[in-house]
Structure 1
Amino acid sequence: MQIINARLRQRPELFSIHIDQGQFSKIDIQQDTLAASEETIDAAGNLVCAPFVEPHIHLDAALTAGEPEWNQSGTLFEGIERWSQRKPMLNEADIRRRALSTIELLVQNGVQAIRTHADTTDPTLIGVRTLCALRDELKDKIDLQVVAFPQDGMLSYPNGVKLMEEALEIGADVVGGIPHFEYTRELGEKSVKLIIELAKKYDRLIDVHCDEIDDPNSRFLEFLACEALFHDMGSKVTASHTTAMHSYDNAYCSKLFRLLKNSGINFISCPTESIHLQGRFDTYPKRRGVTRVKELRAADINVCLGQDSIFDPWYSLGNGKLLRTLDFAMHICQMMGYQDYARALDMITDNSAKTLCLKGYGIEVGNPANFILLEGHDDYSVLRKQGEVLLSVRHGNIIMERALSRVLTPSWVAQITA
């Protein structure tokens, strides 16, 4: 396979990209625009980009909004209550059907790697079992990581630690946690220590729902970062949400960021979900409730973006488009300068791949030939136009193709602009 007339990120030239036996074999600068042939894919000046990565979603809960009841208050905690009502209805066929539909939607929108959370506060662990089985079935088609996630708390749920260990023995890739939802601060801190112990025991990554609350006194992030630093595990540790940081004062954050930088931990923000769920107890002024994405980027701390939910008890919208999530983040976090746009796609590509510890990611000779073709010639034009994903290729094989949309200009407009 050969792709011609392609743009690459941060490069002004046109490129010709050669693929042999499922790997990038040669990447050449073109001197002139080449003519297409049957043996080539003509990128037509559009952007060839590493695949999108969805670092935070709940496939076991996807497509369940309103079953059996809707989240009327729009709060995180009512969402957890509604999910508790839905859990007894779970079975393998139900989870497989919804998860596969959601994965298909993500693939159609350029995603080739997914980290999904699976609830361990369910004595059957059906979500963990089903998603681990799907991961193994789909391994040639998509990278899927499964997080053992104690939705109702590891220490505040009966046999929560035992269920977590069982989930890891089943094969979950990542140890999850939710310290701010444990009954007490002491239990929250103890849960973080247990997460570290389990990750070391089973050689797994860590992804913690951390301080997903408006309370400025919720400060498990500093505890998690400190444990990661002292155990030299920062690159394997992720703090998801951290929405309480939006309510921290600047004096505390100036101290906190030093620890965060030294720890080397990763961050995931889910801006569409956070701005929906947080600030629900405010009148006015009303907090955005999204973590300090702009400040984390400025401090050179790895931060990426996820969708979190697609039509579930916490968020009843969602369409699988990470570009929509990125657009929301740029607005909400006031990252609207050209310097912000120039590397915007990092937060749904390279930064996410780093968070998931993906190997061989990126458009480089010798790497697996995994890429997408985006409508636009650079990060800014793709973001501004919300460009379509025109093509998705994995190991040199086309897994999704979409025709470039064309809009006919009315004749009266043509006359005016002639």
Structure 2
Amino acid sequence: MQYDLIIRHARLHRRAEPIDIAVANGSFARIAHDLSAESAAHEIDAAGHLVVPPFVNAHVHLDAVLTVGQPRFNASGTLLEGIQIWSERKPSLTHEDVKRRALEEIRWEVAQGTLYIRSHVDVCDPELTALRALLEVREEVRDICELQLVAFPQDGIFSFPNGPELMRRAMELGCDIVGGIPHHEWTRDMGVEDVHYAFSLAKEFNRDIDCHCDETDDPLSRFTEVMAADTLQQGWQGRVTASHCTAMHSYDNAYAFKLIQLLARAQVNVIANPFDNVVLQGRFDTYPKRRGITRVKELLAGGVNVALGHDSIMDPWFPLGKGDMLAAAQLALFLCHMSGYEEISDVLDLITIHGAQALRIQERYGIEEGKPANFLILDAPSAFEALRLVPARLHVFKQGREVAHTVPSHSVVKRDGEKTGREVTYRLD
């Protein structure tokens, strides 16, 4: 058989021996130890580099990316000031403005190996300007990545005028996922109703749910349990995601133990966002300061699917970032004390197979014969080295077509020759 592409001498995650990967008609056609007898129109020698499925950014805000400093910077570094600044920026949003920034940032992500993105879109806007723009973006980028859009009520479903009607309109226009933000509603009762309404809308439109939930240091913010209970009562297991859940960092251990069991039983996904979580949380602490990120390690041990998002990228909440999910995974490794050898391998799963499960794309995701040929070649031989170095994504493929590549940089160290008197150079690759 004449293949379209063969990747030779590749390494797969958790497989020590090199492998050859053949692609035909946009799918993985054959994966074997030695395809030297086979030929292809195009071949790449991976030379022992790691080949992995595309990265998944399970939580980002494409409507707000690249707005840092507009109209001002977040001086306190708090979540609440970020929301206030965004409310000042929203009136100046235009269709073209949102599309331009979102498309630019998506290109950043694709170049760094992220081909699946779930973006929350603020629908607390009577005109739904950002949503209409991102619905167009979703179609325009299909050739390079897959984009899911969440109807996100930034100012609350019930604390914002006509919030329920705007959420419904967002779903009618074509949002993929129903969102919510119970901890930001004015009262606890309104927060509970926020969750209930999200479930009723999801049932009506047959959509999955992804709510910002308990994104606070307040140990009394306990809406994640409401999401888990509704999931079980509504039979929505596997279709619900609780994003952030940073209050879990502050819960007492007995309650956290109970909650983790409930989340596992309800098959609720949890999305941690290391960059924003560590920057925005703990702002009211003196010392010791809380890290803020949810209990990733304990959730995984309890059988809960945990994935990662980049969340903010140069916006009122997080002034830095470039959309690199491997960098997000490295930060999660640090913050969650996942530095054991096997744990480091598990961290790579947070931005690959766990993200695919949260986005419910696992049936067409992964390096397996018959599945779409979506994959990356990293400039590293293993997950350990990838998380140590955060290296270049040498090649990025979507359905067998290269959509991005990077030529890695190298450094040269110069010193005087100790015996010859000649300058000696050392190339660091």
2:397 alignment partner, one of 375, 393, 417: 393
Using the TM superposition, give the Cα deviation of residue 128 of structure 1 relative to its aligned residue in structure 2, in angstroms: 1.0
Using the TM superposition, give the Cα deviation of residue 320 of structure 1 relative to its aligned residue in structure 2, in angstroms: 1.3
Matching residue's letter, 2:279: H
Matched, 1:16 2:20: yes
Contact 2:412–2:425 (Cα < 8 Å) also in 1: no
Matched, 1:142 2:163: no
1:176-325 correspondence to structure 2 within 5 Å: 176-325=179-328
Distance in 1 (CA, whole Å) between partners of 2:343 and 2:278 is 20
Contact 1:117–1:147 (Cα < 8 Å) also in 2: yes
**3-state SS of the aligned residue for 1:255?**
helix
Name the stretch that deviates more: 23-32 or 52-61.
Answer: 23-32
2:6 alignment partner, one of 2, 5, 8: 2
**3-state SS of the aligned residue for 1:17?**
strand
Distance in 1 (CA, whole Å) between partners of 2:138 and 2:35 is 43
Q: Which position in structure 2 is the counterpart of 1:126?
A: 129
Using the TM superposition, give the Cα deviation of residue 30 of structure 1 relative to its aligned residue in structure 2, in angstroms: 2.9
1:97-176 correspondence to structure 2 within 5 Å: 97-176=100-179
Aligned residues: 416
Q: Deviations over 1:155-214 (max 9, x none)?
A: 110000000000000000000000000010001001101100100100111100000000
Distance in 2 (CA, whole Å) between partners of 1:82 and 1:362 is 40
1:37–1:175 Cα change, 3 Å:
closer
Distance in 2 (CA, whole Å) between partners of 1:241 and 1:190 is 19
1:413–1:171 Cα change, 3 Å:
farther
Contact 1:13–1:30 (Cα < 8 Å) also in 2: no
Extract unaligned runs of 5+ from structure 1. none
Using the TM superposition, give the Cα deviation of residue 259 of structure 1 relative to its aligned residue in structure 2, in angstroms: 0.7
Matched, 1:87 2:57: no
Distance in 2 (CA, whole Å) between partners of 1:383 and 1:36 is 33
Using the TM superposition, give the Cα deviation of residue 337 of structure 1 relative to its aligned residue in structure 2, in angstroms: 0.8
**3-state SS of the aligned residue for 2:69?**
coil
Q: Which position in structure 1 is the counterpart of 2:47?
A: 44
Using the TM superposition, give the Cα deviation of residue 374 of structure 1 relative to its aligned residue in structure 2, in angstroms: 0.7
Contact 1:241–1:290 (Cα < 8 Å) also in 2: yes
Distance in 2 (CA, whole Å) between partners of 1:321 and 1:6 is 23
Matched, 1:376 2:380: yes
Using the TM superposition, give the Cα deviation of residue 81 of structure 1 relative to its aligned residue in structure 2, in angstroms: 0.4
Using the TM superposition, give the Cα deviation of residue 20 of structure 1 relative to its aligned residue in structure 2, in angstroms: 0.4
Matching residue's letter, 2:192: E
Q: Deviations over 1:230-258 (max 9, x none)?
A: 21212110000000000000011121122
Distance in 2 (CA, whole Å) between partners of 1:12 and 1:400 is 26
**3-state SS of the aligned residue for 2:209?**
strand
1:338-349 correspondence to structure 2 within 5 Å: 338-349=341-352
Matching residue's letter, 2:328: T
Matched, 1:73 2:76: yes
Distance in 2 (CA, whole Å) between partners of 1:228 and 1:107 is 33
Q: Deviations over 1:6-44 (max 9, x none)?
A: 001110111111000000000011399x99998311111
Contact 1:234–1:266 (Cα < 8 Å) also in 2: no
Matching residue's letter, 1:300: G
Contact 1:121–1:160 (Cα < 8 Å) also in 2: yes
Distance in 1 (CA, whole Å) between partners of 2:399 and 2:373 is 5
Percent of residue pairs identical: 47
Using the TM superposition, give the Cα deviation of residue 271 of structure 1 relative to its aligned residue in structure 2, in angstroms: 1.0
Contact 1:205–1:236 (Cα < 8 Å) also in 2: yes
Extract unaligned runs of 5+ from structure 2. 419-423
**3-state SS of the aligned residue for 1:177?**
coil
Contact 1:269–1:293 (Cα < 8 Å) also in 2: yes
Matching residue's letter, 2:50: L
Contact 2:242–2:268 (Cα < 8 Å) also in 1: yes
Contact 1:4–1:36 (Cα < 8 Å) also in 2: no
Distance in 2 (CA, whole Å) between partners of 1:345 and 1:290 is 17
Matching residue's letter, 1:293: V
Distance in 2 (CA, whole Å) between partners of 1:341 and 1:329 is 10
Q: Deviations over 1:353-404 (max 9, x none)?
A: 1100114000000001100001112211111121211110001100001124
Distance in 1 (CA, whole Å) between partners of 2:41 and 2:146 is 30
CA RMSD of aligned residues (A): 1.9
**3-state SS of the aligned residue for 2:142?**
coil
1:413–1:142 Cα change, 3 Å:
farther
